[in-house]
Structure 1
């Protein structure tokens, strides 16, 4: 039996997803690890347990002291953080941060925004923010500017209301409507509070997207917070797999496993599409609110107050898509969320997403994703 320490925060959805992914690997591989795991807060400085000796570590290596401890102890380790402490000597398995930034830009561009901004975190000292850089670069490539919250960031020592005033003043100066990406859920929630304090509507004036997934944080936020799916279970699974290989002598500390993001969990904080034609906006909102019903293009046209032919022309002119395909894509996005976040059967998921049957859903899913729903579920959970 190998002794393995898991040093990650347990107070977030990301942390619990990581632990689940590690557990899934142990179930599938038949490995019998003795795992050290204790409750940890998100910004708590992590260290090796005093007096602990073991065979391997999976850790969010978020500070130089922890990296030095691991290197001095000569313990095989897999870093699951976006921090690159020990690069080349401590292996890493993490979500591809640059691909995540590009996915966020793509998400907002598809909503037809013309103004964009990014807000990093004051809680991440010495972090080279490749996520925010990739977001900004993707927008620049598309012909748009990206405003950044000042590099000095928020003074964490200020009272909460003063922090909100700082953020609110920045939000007020942005061109509107503006699509804002924040590095994490805490910063995103603070942005929403700051927008409210500055009397800026969310999402109609300021849309807010978080760069990480935390269902608890989203659920308690009003409006609910949209988030990038950071594939925590998949990262945990592959981190455990990589550590197992290192402990067997089949891999070394120079390895990097980058998990690709492929989903945005859309909620009310980004529930806005910037389009000049109100009829098209009404049609899109009707799809969003009724995708699980047996709706047809004729239903969209009636709700939008346009003929079917005119509505099809509007979709083609502004979105380069047909109304029926938009319905399909919304249903598939919801199916992806349920496949990833639930244990529902294919029939139940199909019914909840508006498909006539599980067979219809599976055919559409495989046509669009090039894999079956079952394969998608296994891949997202790291199996």
Structure 2
């Protein structure tokens, strides 16, 4: 609740969102940023259990509502609402699908998909595909992303299949992964796959890891959401399109603020473009001629920080250590040990930059035998200590707040 000056009575505003989802949480955060940056006084209703957020909403004794209209139940519940309402949700190719009488703030699906498409093409992927969701009213936004993907494919004159798979459920989980694996095996390689959400991208990663499909050499994967939870659940860091969700929240709050003063915006639509791409390992595609090196790097990406040795990598690939070393010298101009060390160093740099752990814990979690050894590697490879590296990253961030977003173009489910 925002405290108002004594002379100002706060407006009572309902936020109808599923705060279990990163997309909704970031829209709510954008609303909060708007309130903090203005003198607006709102008493906010936000149901902690999203399953109960519509119970009795027609009797809400308030002044206005900002709601997620991608949820058909929300849209249905607010038909004929007497209060000012700002709708937030997906963009639509067909304008008739927008609610006709309400202002509507939309994530620009065409630009989300186009940004992911351009990124994969730029990574040298000759084939593209999309992993979507089953057709359902609650998945209309996913079908809109399919339409955007298919239009790009038609414009480019290429075959780019879409696979919807099964809805996520415990009973069908094994079947879903097996069917997804079959689809992945059927695709021409190398291929870049756009998932309609980070959650669906995680399914792709799991299927690839289970069935030994090298990511990103054979299948490069990009999601939409930039969801930090998803990144903690995958061995290979996931690239993802960053939606403009906070800007959507700010814009929705600004419109409702004006409507509370008497303004009306029936049928107004504002499309918010993506912010950029968080480019991580899952799309750092490097064409390689040796399947042995591809398989080795796939194993190293997953287990480098668990202290694996060259012999273990060779055993996984199924060839002798000397043969694997020869393949690495030809293709990577380095040894297998150096490749493992590079992944450990990259993981340590990422942890230090995020300030998630002290140096000693970073050394343990990234597979270094001791803190002293990690210090020695940093000095040799980067010319600085871990602490000096951490300080330099923090200083750079203050100078350039957008430096962590190397590709321009935050997500959903």
Whether TM-score is above 0.5 comes out as: yes
1:216 counterpart = 2:232: no
Aligned residue in 2 for 1:111? 123
Aligned residue in 2 for 1:32? 41
Give the whole-Å Cα distance in 2 for the aligned partners of 1:275 and 1:99: 31
Pick closer, same or farther for the CA change 1:201–1:103 going to 2, 3 Å: same
Give the whole-Å Cα distance in 2 for the aligned partners of 1:7 and 1:225: 29
Aligned counterparts, 1:137-176, within 5 A: 137-149=151-163, 153-156=165-168, 158-176=171-189
Give the whole-Å Cα distance in 1 for the aligned partners of 2:88 and 2:257: 15
Aligned residue in 1 for 2:75? 67
Question: What secondary structure, in the 3-state scheme, does the structure 2 residue paired with 1:209 have?
Answer: strand
Cα pair 2:132 2:195 within 8 Å, conserved: yes
Give the whole-Å Cα distance in 2 for the aligned partners of 1:349 and 1:124: 46
The CA deviation at 1:214 is 1.1
Aligned residue in 2 for 1:352? 393
Cα pair 1:48 1:66 within 8 Å, conserved: no
Cα pair 2:68 2:74 within 8 Å, conserved: no
The CA deviation at 1:40 is 4.7
1:131 counterpart = 2:139: no
1:17 counterpart = 2:29: no
Report Cα offsets for 1:234-293 as digits up to 9, x if no partner.
11111111222223232323111111113111122222244789xxxxxxxxxxxxxxxx
Pick closer, same or farther for the CA change 1:121–1:155 going to 2, 3 Å: closer
The CA deviation at 1:176 is 0.8
Cα pair 1:61 1:67 within 8 Å, conserved: yes
Give the whole-Å Cα distance in 2 for the aligned partners of 1:137 and 1:252: 31
User: TM-score, normalised to structure 1's length?
Assistant: 0.68
Bigger radius of gyration? 2
Question: What secondary structure, in the 3-state scheme, does the structure 2 residue paired with 1:71 have?
Answer: coil
The CA deviation at 1:94 is 2.2
Question: What secondary structure, in the 3-state scheme, does the structure 1 residue paired with 2:90 have?
Answer: coil
Aligned equivalent of 1:258, options 251, 271, 276: 271
Give the whole-Å Cα distance in 2 for the aligned partners of 1:356 and 1:160: 41
Say how many residue pairs are matched: 300
Structure 2: any 5+ residue segments left out of the alignment?
1-9, 291-330, 334-349, 355-388
Question: What secondary structure, in the 3-state scheme, does the structure 2 residue paired with 1:199 have?
Answer: coil
User: TM-score, normalised to structure 2's length?
Assistant: 0.63
Cα pair 1:213 1:227 within 8 Å, conserved: yes
Structure 1: any 5+ residue segments left out of the alignment?
278-302, 306-333, 339-347, 370-375
Cα pair 2:91 2:271 within 8 Å, conserved: no
Cα pair 2:67 2:74 within 8 Å, conserved: no
